[in-house]
Amino acid sequence: MKVNSKKISLIFLLFSISLLSSQKDQSKLISPLDIPLAISGTFGEIRSSHFHAGLDIKTGGKQGLKVRTVLDGSVSRIRVSTTGYGKAVYIDHPNGTTSVYAHLKNFSPKIESYIKEAQYEKESYVIEKFPKNELAVLKGEVIGFSGNTGGSSGPHLHFEIRDTKNQMPFNPMIFNIDVVDTKKPVIQKLFLFHENNFGEDIITQKIKLEKISDGLYKAPKIYTSGKIGIGLQMYDNQDLSLFNKNGIHSIKIFMDDKIISDYNYNNIKFDDSQYLNLLIDYKEFKNKKIRVQKLFNPNNSNISFIDKDEKNAKFSIEENKSYDLLIEISDFKKNISRIEMKITGRETNFIHPTIEGELILPENEYLFKFKDQTVHLKKNTFYYPTSLNVYKDHDSIKINPDISLFKKSFSIEFFANKYDSISKRQSFIARLNKKKKIAYYPTIIKDSIFITKSVQAGTYFLAKDSIPPKIKPINFKKNQWLSKSKFLKVKIEDDLSGIKYYEGEINGKWVLFEYEPKNKNLTFNFNDLKFKSGKQDLKLKVTDNVGNESIFQTTFYRKYD
């Protein structure tokens, strides 16, 4: 019996909505912010490494806006990290959903008190806790304040709705989150795809569109043949987000009035992100930073929101036949842009890729051995047969071309038996990025063998970091009175391997320094702990990724009430 995963997801989605509607006085989620919602990132939007699992809500470039829980519930998870979601709160609701609020600057007082107690107990800023019905919250209650923590590139609130049982994200717009949107998606360019002789979808035609009116585009007459797929360079925005290029919601293709492709972003799975680079043209993105989204189910993928049937496959164009196509691109508010196009079947010859280097077949395992280096590709390192150059250049290993799309990581080993113990500890495998800067890769050292893993082509070599991190006070000087200061701030930085660990003490007692890597600041809140008034001894220890250590010690004075 064939199970249609998309129908199952839809049934569950409708079930969740009906549960939500049945809750007394909770038929509609309230907004998590007290301002009109301007969106800088839509649900399902294609990012550099993942499908976006929620809404990014703009906060006007400010931090500290009140963030409210959208329904009654109980805090089920609190996470604090220097990466990813930064400071985040997860709240379970009686209707079977979980709301997520990420990149917060601070939590509400009761949540802040709960998590700080845990941080001091563990003596760690980075922490994750799973409260058991200890922190009940009411609809509209302030649970935190908006910020820019973690992997955020600017102040905003990342907001999600998930299924509590399996943590599958739903599009929050389904739950009546109100966003003003009268703008139609913008379509920039159309692309045709054919399969090469390795089964990989490649761009064979780039087609400039004529804009007839707002939301209506026309393609010139197209001549091609064989099994083809369509891709688009496109974006959407909303009334309060005119300068943002957000993702679209749904895609439909009609051929001679019959639907041949139809998928949307109502719900996704986190596992879908492993196939993200198959849904775009990866070479176009790597070479030109242009995201061309395929409107069909790519080969070798298992994307949950695209049915695995003929409807979303590539379609055939026969010679000497004509076809009328209509493409509809919609946002969640049903603002639709259309492309009208006609395709006539005509014999077409394609130039298949030439083999430059060794042809890597996914079903085989490969070992490239040099005098002091080894590159190991396990089976299924690539999605398709791939032409790859792996060679030694002086003391470096070069893996080209840089547009190679890896499915799995490969390992690189360097043998260095002439290093003394200090040099060995300070060395690591590095990659030279496009800006010619050294990028640190986590390296395991076994005897005299240095080992790392990567999913990127490029130039790899052994690098050495012998310089310890720098520590510099920001808002105080030695022996200064700080009785009126609310915070103690210190800047820490490491120019090569990066910061791995830090620890702060006042008068020999561990204190919580919050770390924000974007501005390289450590911050201690004087309200956390009270010491005896008078002289205070501060000690900070900072270690980089290869074990170089810096210790900063100073004194300051403070009067406590």
CA dist 511 and 520 (Å) reads: 18
525-558 pLDDT, tens per residue?
Answer: 999 999 999 999 999 999 999 999 999 999 999 9
Nearest to 184 by CA among 293, 338, 337: 337
Q: Kindly tell me if the per-residue pLDDT of 311 is higher than 80.
A: no
Task: Please tell me the distance from the alpha carbon of residue 226 to that of residue 317, in angstroms, as a whole number.
Answer: 5
Q: Which residues, listed in sequence order, are joined to residue 438 by a DSSP beta bridge?
A: 432
Write out the CATH class of domain 358-464. mainly beta
Q: Choose the most confident range, by mean pLDDT, from 14-23, 189-198, 351-360.
A: 189-198
Question: Which of these, 181, 161, 149, 169, lies nearest to 59 by C-alpha position?
Answer: 149
User: At residue 417, does pLDDT exceed 60?
Assistant: yes
pLDDT greater than 80 at residue 347? yes
Q: Which of 223, 409, 245, 383 is nearest to 317 (CA)?
A: 223
The band of 181, judged by pLDDT with boundaries at 50, 70 and 90, is: very high
Q: Is the pLDDT of residue 427 over 80?
A: yes
pLDDT band for position 23 (50/70/90)? very low
The Cα–Cα gap between 227 and 26 comes to 50
Query: Would you say residue 324 has pLDDT above 90?
Result: yes
3-class SS letters over 273-290: HHHHHHHECHHHHHHHCC
**Predicted pLDDT at 22:** 41
Half-sphere exposure of 552 (CA within 13 A, CB side): 20
**Averaged pLDDT for residues 94-108:** 97
Q: Which of 288, 308, 290 is nearest to 298 (CA)?
A: 308
Residue 481 is predicted with a pLDDT of: 96
Whether the per-residue pLDDT at 522 is higher than 50: the answer is yes
What are the residue boundaries of the structural domains of the chain, listed by start? 5-175, 186-345, 358-464, 470-558
| Conformational region of residue 271, where left means phi above 0, alpha means psi within -120 to 50, and beta covers everything else | alpha
| Residue 352: predicted pLDDT | 67
pLDDT confidence of 11, banded at 50, 70, 90?
A: very low
Distances (CA, A) of 113 to 86, 393, 466, 467, 526: 17, 55, 40, 38, 14
- How does residue 178 score in pLDDT terms, banded at 50, 70 and 90? confident
Q: Tell me what pLDDT residue 27 has.
A: 52
- Residues 389 and 401: their CA atoms lie apart, in Å, by 7
pLDDT digits (tens, 9 = 90+) for 252-289: 999 999 999 999 999 999 999 999 999 999 999 999 99
Instruction: Give percent above pLDDT 90 in the chain.
Output: 86
- In the chain, what are the helix, strand and coil shares in percent, each to the nearest 5? 10, 45, 45
Rounded to whole angstroms, the Cα distance separating 508 from 511 reads 9
| Per-residue DSSP letter, 221 | P
Across the range 115-133, mean pLDDT stands at 97
The 10s digit of each residue's pLDDT in 133-153 is: 899 999 999 999 999 999 999
Mean pLDDT of 403-408: 92
CB 462 within 8 A of CB 427: yes
Q: Contact, 259 vs 299, CB < 8 A? A: no
Pairwise CA distance, residues 294 & 25, whole Å: 42
Task: Tell me the whole-structure pTM to 2 decimals.
Answer: 0.92
Q: What is the mean pLDDT of residues 357-379?
A: 95
- What's the pLDDT score for residue 355? 64
Per-residue model confidence as pLDDT tens digits over 470-490: 999 999 999 999 999 999 999
Instruction: Read off the pLDDT of each residue in 105-121 and give the average, rounded to a whole number.
Output: 97
Question: How confident is residue 1, by pLDDT bands cut at 50, 70 and 90?
Answer: very low
Look-up of token digits 């080894």 = 374
**What confidence score (pLDDT) does residue 434 get?**
77
Whether 470-558 and 358-464 are alike in CATH topology: the answer is: no
Q: Determine the average pLDDT of the residues in 492-512.
A: 96
Please report the pLDDT score of residue 75 as a whole number: 98
What mean pLDDT value characterizes the chain? 92
pLDDT band at 433 (very low <50, low <70, confident <90, very high): confident
552 bridge partner residues = 540
Section 360-378 average pLDDT: 96
Checking if the pLDDT of 175 tops 80, the result is yes
pLDDT top residue among 133 and 42: 42
Task: Compute the average pLDDT of residues 316-343.
Answer: 96
Coil/strand/helix, residue 101:
strand
Name, in order, each residue with C-beta under 8 angstroms of 543's C-beta and a sequence gap of 6 or more. 469, 499, 500, 501, 502, 549, 550
Please name the fold of domain 470-558: Immunoglobulin-like (2.60.40)
Q: What is the CATH number of domain 5-175?
A: 2.70.70.10
The answer, yes or no, to whether residue 375 has pLDDT greater than 90, is yes
